[in-house]
């Protein structure tokens, strides 16, 4: 930043000299302000932060915004995955309950068949015993019939 001081009777060498002095004064003012923590930006506005630090702060702020946006997207994706996993867990639990119910039903049917088989075996044993009694009774009746027929034959022959 250079300032030209124009005067009516200023010679070029004087102007050059005053220009150098103004440059020195400006540099000294910048140094003093810099030591106090004040800086000029590219638009010659007075700033508390160094322009480089300001630029880094802006870049960091933009990176933070991008990071927050990405975290938000990540959270949405994770939320969707959690909902999906919860839904699948419910479906798995329902299928598990159905499988347990089916297994219990099969066990129940197997027990019913076993009980029915035992009942039928007991009935078969009872019928076999009844058949044996009927066979013994039949043989006894056949013997009685044979004896009676023999008695009848003897009675008829005696007459």
49 and 58 in contact (C-beta within 8 Å)? no
For 12-25, the pLDDT digits (tens) are 454 455 556 666 66
The pTM of this model reads: 0.45
Please report the pLDDT score of residue 68 as a whole number: 98
Q: Which residues contact 1 (CB under 8 A, 6 or more apart)?
A: 26, 44
Tell the residue number behind the tokens 């975290």, with chain if given.
71
User: Two tokens at 48?
Assistant: 């508390």
Examine the pLDDT at 4 and tell me if it is beyond 90: no
Pairwise CA distance, residues 2 & 26, whole Å:
8
Cα separation values, 75 from 7, 64, 83, 111, Å: 69, 16, 12, 53
Region 48-70: mean pLDDT is 89
Under the banding of pLDDT at 50, 70 and 90, the label for residue 26 is low
Please report the pLDDT score of residue 151 as a whole number: 94
For 71-119, the pLDDT digits (tens) are 999 999 999 999 999 999 999 999 999 999 999 999 999 999 999 999 9
For 118-138, the pLDDT digits (tens) are 999 999 999 999 999 999 999
Single out the residue of 27, 48, 52 nearest to residue 39, CA to CA: 48
């Amino acid at each position: 930043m250079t300032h030209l001081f124009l005067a009516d009777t200023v010679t070029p060498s004087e102007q050059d000299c005053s220009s150098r002095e103004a440059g020195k004064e400006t540099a000294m003012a910048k140094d003093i302000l810099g030591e106090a923590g004040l800086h000029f930006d590219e638009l010659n506005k007075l700033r508390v932060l160094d322009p480089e630090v300001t630029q880094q702060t802006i870049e960091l702020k933009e990176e933070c915004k991008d990071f927050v946006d990405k975290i938000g997207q990540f959270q949405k994706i994770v939320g969707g995955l959690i909902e999906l996993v919860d839904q699948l867990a419910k479906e798995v639990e329902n299928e598990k309950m159905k499988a347990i119910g089916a297994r219990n039903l099969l066990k129940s049917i197997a027990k019913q068949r076993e009980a029915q088989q035992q009942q039928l075996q007991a009935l078969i044993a009872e019928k076999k015993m009844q058949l044996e009694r009927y066979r013994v009774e039949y043989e006894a009746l056949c013997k009685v019939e044979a004896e009676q027929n023999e008695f009848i034959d003897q009675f008829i022959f005696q007459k």
